[in-house]
Every structure is written in structure tokens, then in C-alpha cells.
Structure 1
Amino acid sequence: MAASTSDVFKVNVDGAISLKGLNIGVGVVTRNDDGALMAGCATQLYGYFDALTTELLAENEGLLFAYDAGFTSIILELDSKSIVDLNVANDACFDRDGTILKEIDILNKSISFLIVKKDFTLPSPMD
């Protein structure tokens, strides 16, 4: 297999809410342009969060992971259209979600990333 020639990596993130509602799980997978697994992580965050906040926290954790791992140019793949829309709108809000979006905006100054919504009808071009 030939070595990857691209410096752009696809980072897929997802969040899951515990049935008891006391914590959430976050998963991050990073692949190169050949679809090979480069890095990944899973973490648990404690607290009661709704679905929107859970997905925002997953995005934030994914960006932090990518930054810490040295991936500076990424395609961030999300499965929530609402989160993609929030990022695109970049509206100022001052609740918990607004604070997370502000953190994401700060990370945007350190990482070059494009946010895309996962398309469940077609196979991923990275697979």
C-alpha cells in the first residue's frame, strides 16, 4: 500500500447519552485519505446534557483531540445537521451551548477544519 500523500485527515465524532442521563460518551476516530485509522479516543463526561449539547461537546472533544494529536488540517464529520447549522450560523448565544461554540471558534484559529454532515445514503469516500 502506498503512503498517504495528503495532510488532510477526516475526524469523525459522535456523542451518546447514558440511559440514566448522568453522563455522556464521546468517540473520536481519525482516518487518512486512504481510510486508514490514524488515531482515536473515547471519553466519558459527567453531567446531564441534552442531545444538542452532547453533540456540541463531542465536536469540541474531537477538535481538542485532533489539535493535541497534531492534526492541523481536518475534515470534521458530524451526524447532526443541527450542529452543522449552529457552526455555520456562528450566532452569539450566552447559554452553555454558546460557551461550547465559543471554544470551538477559538480552536478554529489553531486548526484548519471543514465541517460536514455525514451522509448515511452513500458510502463515505474515505471508507
Structure 2
Amino acid sequence: MQNSKTVWEPPLESAFKLNFDAAIFSELNKTSVGVIIHNYKGEVMAAMSARGPTIHSSEEGKLLACRKAVEFAIDAGFSKLVLEGDNVNVMQAISSQEANISLLGNVVEDIKLLIRGLQWVSISHTRCSGNKVAHVLAQHAKTSIEDLYWIEDSPA
């Protein structure tokens, strides 16, 4: 499912891996987003733990988390990304060249528009075990009263 915007591969040192996840707390009618961005050495470059909107499905939560993650990465100045998430349907939807006409198509198309502005992107699915840090950050937002951001730092 690799999807590169260009035919060249960036040097390993210039691309950053972005993992994102959403957590759903149905008993509280809340969602949250976790994002971790690290370099090729595994050093944390940026992270986010933020509250999300009320949603109707897990897939909607993951798509909204993806959009928020990409917006965060762009705002933080990252332009070459390996974008990883643990929902195969979400990752396939955003890597597809076809227009998405599903109920969540507007969110998918927003994400595609955002990633078209990047210098380079690779989109891939990872197992839940490969997305643990983003998951923990999403869970952390459950009790937070404000969104938390770390730049060139990492959460405890």
C-alpha cells in the first residue's frame, strides 16, 4: 500500500514517520487523538494528545484523527512523511487514487488534499502493536482538560 507522490525516495534521514490513532470513549461520548512523529533514529520530534469530536463510528474517528495528525505535522513544519495508521480501510481510502463518495468521503478528500501539499509521502498500514505510542497518547487525552503538544520533546 505504499504510495509515493514522486518517483524518488527521500534520503532516510530526511523523512519522518507519523503514527496516529483515535480512542473512543462511548460512555463519555468523547473521542481523542494521539500522534507521534519520529525521525529515522526513532527519536521523538513531535507528539500530540488531543480531544476529538463526537463521532458515529470507529472509522470516522480514525479518519478525523488522520486529518488532525496531518494538519499537526504540516503546522510543525514536516514535509516528508511516512504516514502510518492501524485501520486498513482508512489507509486504503487515503492512498486510493479514486474519489471517495462514501459518507466520510469529504474527510478522505480533505486528507488527500493535505498530503498533496507535502514534498513526499508514503502511506502504510501498521498493526496495532506498531501503533502503541499513538494509542497511549490518544488514551491520555481522555482525562486531559486541554490538548497537549510536544515539539522536539516527548511526553513522559
Give yes or no for TM over 0.5: yes
Tell me the TM-score normalized by structure 1. Answer: 0.83
- Which residue does the alignment assign to 2:141? none
- Which residue does the alignment assign to 2:33? 26
- Which residue does the alignment assign to 2:13? 6
CA distance, structure 1, for counterparts of residue 51 and residue 129 of structure 2: 29
More moved, 33-42 vs 12-21: 12-21
Letter of the 1:115 counterpart: I
Q: Is 1:98 equivalent to 2:101 in the alignment? A: no
Letter of the 1:81 counterpart: V
CA distance, structure 2, for counterparts of residue 91 and residue 102 of structure 1: 7
- Offset at 1:86? 1.3
Output aligned runs, 1:46-125, within 5 Å: 46-89=53-96, 90-93=98-101, 95=103, 97-111=104-118, 112-119=120-127
Letter of the 1:22 counterpart: N
Q: Which runs of 5+ in 1 are unaligned?
A: 123-127
Q: CA RMSD in A?
A: 1.9
Letter of the 1:116 counterpart: S
SS at match of 2:14: coil
Tell me the TM-score normalized by structure 2. Answer: 0.68
SS at match of 1:6: helix
- Offset at 1:49? 2.8
- Offset at 1:88? 2.8
Q: Do the aligned partners of 1:14 and 1:28 also contact (CA within 8 Å) in 2?
A: yes
Q: Which aligned runs of 4 or more in structure 1 are off by greater than 6 angstroms?
A: none
CA distance, structure 2, for counterparts of residue 82 and residue 21 of structure 1: 26
Q: Taking every aligned residue pair, what percent have the same amino acid on both sides?
A: 25
